[in-house]
Amino acid sequence: MLGKNLPLSYFVNDPNISNSFFLGIPALGKVGSIHVDTIALSLTSMSLILLGAAVITPRLTSQKAGGIGQILLETYYDFIANLTKEQIGSGYKKFMPLVGGIFIFVLVNNFLGVGPWKAFEAIPGWPKVHHEPFEVAAATTDFNVTAALASIAFFTYIGSGLVTHGHKYLLLYLNPLNFINWIIEWLDFVIRPSTLAIRLMCVITADEIIRSVALNLVPVLLPTGVMAFELFIGIIQAFVFALLTSIYIGLTVSHH
């Protein structure tokens, strides 16, 4: 993405496309900056996750040793279970699907962006819209995606606080008598989701910029090392996002 998202209006207002698919509906372009490439790449990531689950699930067994897929799935389950249990406590199981879903979605999206895709844009016939090449990049370079993920985490831990503590939790934000604590709570209210969204977007975007520069400077060997580093960073950022989500939920449900 790198700030060059392809808005829906590009597709709808492109005569080559609108004449074929949106004949008589030119007003669709007024929807605004819906990033079609981000949506496409997010759907691709989700499809890969579901396909992987569909392939592994029928091969699961409890009677004998499973294959590589089962080993990976069990390792992943144990990882998410330990992560959420350590941060949230006894009620961790109901939050495992959320934390696990966030982790795998961010991870696959980060990995999807790792590749010499910029070099592919020079290939004749590469898809273009209004002379803008379709850029294969991690959807997590789009603030819309990271903000949406942060919002899911935000509403989850706020909702958990309300369910666990009821009106007492609201008093943390509505009672300014203890001014210092009141300010701290409101700062957390704003800073936590903001940092979740901005950190992920900035780090993955920086990685993709570094790869683009490496491809331009030394298009053969250097990008390989850069992409290996990107895979490592992709894992770390998925872990950090899932970890912080678990920490925020744990702090909220234990808040008193």
Within a domain: 161: yes
- The number of angstroms, rounded, from the C-alpha of 121 to the middle of its chain's C-alpha atoms is 24
DSSP-derived secondary structure letter, 219:
S
Q: Which helix (H) or strand (E) holds 128?
A: strand 128-129
Within a domain: 21: no
CA dihedral 200, 242, 149, 73 (to 10 degrees): 110
DSSP-derived secondary structure letter, 122:
T
Within a domain: 230: yes
Within a domain: 19: no
- With H, G, I as helix, E, B as strand and everything else as coil, classify residue 35: strand
In the block, tokens 């409101």 appear at 186
**Tokens found for residue 237:** 């950022």
DSSP-derived secondary structure letter, 41:
H
Count of domains forming the chain: 1
Within a domain: 204: yes
Q: What is the reported pLDDT for 29?
A: 35
Within a domain: 2: no
CA distance 196 to 242: 10
Within a domain: 10: no
From the number of C-beta atoms within 10 Å of its C-beta (0-12, 13-18, 19+), residue 44 rates as middle
Q: What is the reported pLDDT for 32?
A: 47
Q: Please give the chain's pLDDT, 256 residues, in tens.
A: 444 555 555 544 444 444 444 444 333 333 345 677 788 889 999 999 999 989 888 877 776 667 788 888 889 999 999 999 999 988 889 999 999 999 999 999 999 888 777 777 777 777 776 666 777 788 898 888 899 999 999 999 888 888 877 777 776 666 666 667 667 767 777 888 888 999 998 898 888 888 777 777 776 666 677 788 889 999 999 999 999 999 999 888 875 5
Q: Report yes or no: 134 and 37 within 8 Å, Cβ to Cβ.
A: yes
Helices (H), the chain: 8-13, 15-18, 36-56, 68-88, 96-112, 117-120, 143-165, 167-174, 179-217, 222-253
Q: What is the reported pLDDT for 16?
A: 44
Domain that holds residue 202: 37-253
